[in-house]
Amino acid sequence: GVLCLPDSLNLHKDQQRSNKPGEVQMFSQSELRTIEQSLLATRVGSIAELSDLVSRAMHHLQPLNAKQHGNGTPMHQKQGSFYWEPEALYTLCYFMHCPQMEWENPNVEPSKVTLQTERPFIVLPPLMEWIRVAVAHAGHRRSFSVDSDDVRQAARLLLPGVDCEPRQLKIDDCFCASRKLDAVATEAKFKQDLGFRMLNCGRTDLVKQAISLLGPDGINSMSEQGMTPLMYACVRGDEAMVQMLLDAGADLNAEVVSTAHKYPSVHPETRHWTALTFAVLHGHIPVVQLLLDAGAKVEGSLEHGEENYSETPLQLAAAAGNFELVSLLLERGADPMIGTMYRNGISMTPQGDMNSFSQAAAHGHRNVFRKLLAQPEKEKSDILSLEEILAEGTDLPDAAAAPLCASRNSKAKLKALKEAMYHSAEHGYVDVTIDIRSIGVPWTLHTWLESLRTSFQQHRRPLIQCLLKEFKSIQEEEYTEELITQGLPLMFEILKASKNEVISQQLSVIFTHCYGPYPIPKLVEIKRKQTSRL
């Protein structure tokens, strides 16, 4: 096919829609054709040519993006345009460079020996795709500048067989931000950037010199990402640097800021994270041990009695399945019952708040889940919350869950385990679901059906027999339309595929129970007409 611009980038249509009668057009027809050719370019001959094409393309794309952004656009994208760093252009030129185009210049002599003239890509993406994907990566990390790693990530998506390492969390260049500041502010910004880089290099003998460059906040200065030098050291797992920063007075429990006005590159997912959170996220056990020994709060930014709006270190360790970290955090008093609240009331988890039990169950970490389950319960205060008062008189539908209801703590734990049971069933970890059921957590129709479907898909006959036997424990209040639309077709499919006598008998009992005590109407035998054969 022929490369063409999508409707959202079609210059002719956009100019026809935007121009009013009597209004002067922004671009002439020749200029429009030139810009379109720039956006559709797949090869370039030199870095100078590529720089000119990107400059023209970004000049055109920025007004279009401003028109198309809705309410969901991040604030940092509405404040200004993206800037391409020189390294990003050189990286893009590597993927788009064509030596033959350079040879068309009469002033350039072709090389006598070439190791590679063409790259084996059948379809080369146009410049507009490179820009779109690279800018999306830059926007994801809340940056105003496109760097070389953004281009490499774009190549990983656009070119077949090309791969690169995941982007590491590190201090960003301040070249882009410095373009909007005066001379004094730019000098301070570059000094702070140099201080962060001196600390990131791992040289412990440069700590004092780096602190003097960081600014008035010293060792606790924050980058545009809202992170302190201690947080970056924890990300790298540099135990010696962490100890040096602690000795220099670094704040153990400093949090990533939640505002984007002063720190525009703060990512929403890292807000309120502490140095301990970053160390746990990257699995650096010695650094975690060091921070806890120095007095870091085991629950991260969570204060006692307050609602939690960010993941705790134990939640992250449970989701990653790091048994050693989970054990260490539990020993230091981490609470597996703590979940994550959402300020706007919108949650991606309708069945609960994704505490550590749910994180381990949703990711299938059976050993971590059992470790969390074995943790002794913390005693709560005697003051009842409204939710606990309302739940105090409710009865459980299943008598098997009685051991979990001996106290108010057990009622909260039962709710957490029900949530974990839902997530394990949804993600297909039926062994974890059976473990939760074995301690007395009652079935819901949905979790039972999902577990049965997974067992059938995995051809686990003993588990299918066990689940079919458990059907009678589901309360009739749980029977919903899902049983008719999803459950019965699934069970008939199992009956059709199964050659096991026990499974057939169990299914017949369930069908009889679902049909009820009504008499079965007489079935009329369908007689086939016999055809004559020659």
3-state secondary structure 260-291: CCCCCCCCHHHCCCCHHHHHHHCCCHHHHHHH
| Mean of per-residue pLDDT scores for the chain | 80
What is the per-residue pLDDT across 144-172, written as a single tens digit (0 to 9) for each? 889 999 999 999 999 888 888 888 877 76
192 lies in the same domain as 143: no
Report if residue 283 sits inside a domain. Answer: yes
The answer to whether residue 356 sits within a structural domain is yes
Claim to verify: residue 15 and residue 147 sit in the same structural domain = yes
Q: How far apart are CA 401 and CA 205, in angstroms?
A: 60
Q: In the 8-state DSSP scheme, what is residue 73?
A: S
d(CA 290, CA 276): 10
Q: What is the dihedral of CA 396, 398, 399, 403, to 10 degrees?
A: -70
Query: Do 152 and 270 have their domain in common?
Result: no
Which tops the pLDDT comparison, 322 or 102?
A: 322
59 three-class SS: helix
Give the tens place of pLDDT for each residue, 191-240.
Answer: 888 888 888 887 888 888 888 888 888 899 988 888 999 999 999 999 99
Greater confidence (140 vs 277) lies with 277
Residue 213 shares a structural domain with residue 186: yes
Q: Return d(Cα 239, Cα 233) in angstroms, integer.
A: 8
Domain identity same for 141 and 16: yes
Q: Kindly state the helix (H) or strand (E) to which residue 83 belongs, with its residue range.
A: strand 83-84
Domain boundary among 441, 468, 494: 441
Task: Tell me the mean pLDDT in the region 40-48.
Answer: 87
User: Would you say residue 125 has pLDDT above 50?
Assistant: yes
What span, in angstroms and rounded, lies between the C-alpha atoms of 525 and 114?
Answer: 81
Structure tokens at 202: 């791992």
Instruction: Report pLDDT for 434.
Output: 96
Each residue of 241-285: pLDDT tens digit? 999 999 989 999 999 988 777 777 888 888 889 999 999 999 999
Residue 105 belongs to a domain? no
Is 525 inside any structural domain?
no
Q: What is the pLDDT of residue 120?
A: 52
| 418 part of a folded domain | yes
Please count the structural domains in the chain: 4
User: Among 316, 337, 189, which Cα is nearest to 263's?
Assistant: 189
In a shared domain, residues 93 and 215: no
Which domain covers residue 143, as residue numbers? 7-20+27-99+125-158
Q: CA-to-CA distance for 302 and 310, rounded, in angstroms?
A: 8
From 182-186, 287-291, 373-377, the region with the lowest mean pLDDT: 182-186
> In sequence order, which residues have a C-beta less than 8 Å from that of residue 341 and are 6 or more positions away?
307, 308, 309, 353
480 falls within a domain? yes
Regarding whether 138 and 16 lie in a shared domain, the answer is yes
| CATH number of the domain where residue 329 is located | 1.25.40.20
- Give the Cα-Cα-Cα angle 244, 249, 252 (nearest 5 degrees): 90
In this prediction, residue 467 carries a pLDDT of 95
Same domain, yes or no, for 189 and 200?
yes
Give the amino acid at 265. S
pLDDT in the model for residue 40: 84
Place of tokens 């070119």: 159
CB neighbour list of residue 76: distance below 8 Å, 6 or more residues apart = 139, 142, 143, 144, 260, 264, 265
Q: Flag whether 111 is in a domain.
A: no
The answer to whether residue 449 is domain-embedded is: yes
CB 145 within 8 A of CB 83: yes
- The answer on 476 and 369 residing in a single domain is no
For residues 13 and 154, membership in a common domain is answered with yes
Do 86 and 154 lie in a common domain? yes
Residues 41 and 153 in one domain: yes
Q: Which residues pair with 145 in a beta bridge?
A: 83
Query: Which tens digits make up the pLDDT trace of 366-415?
Result: 999 999 999 887 665 555 555 555 555 444 334 344 445 445 567 888 99
| Buried-exposed string 281-309: b where 16+ CB fall within 10 A, e elsewhere | bbebeebbebbbeeebbbbbbbeeeeebe
Residue 460, pLDDT above cutoff 90 = yes
Q: What is the Cα–Cα distance from 453 to 158, expressed in whole angstroms?
A: 37
> Cβ contacts of residue 218 below 8 Å, gap of 6+?
211, 249
Q: Which token pair is 237?
A: 């797992």
Percent of the chain clearing pLDDT 70 (strictly above): 75
Tens-place pLDDT, residues 77-118? 444 578 898 899 999 999 888 765 554 555 555 444 444 445
Tell me the C-alpha distance between 197 and 79, whole Å. 27
- Return the pLDDT at 224: 84
The one-letter amino acid code at 198 reads: M
Distance CA 153, CA 406 (A): 53
DSSP assignment string, 449-465: HHHHHHHHHTT-HHHHH
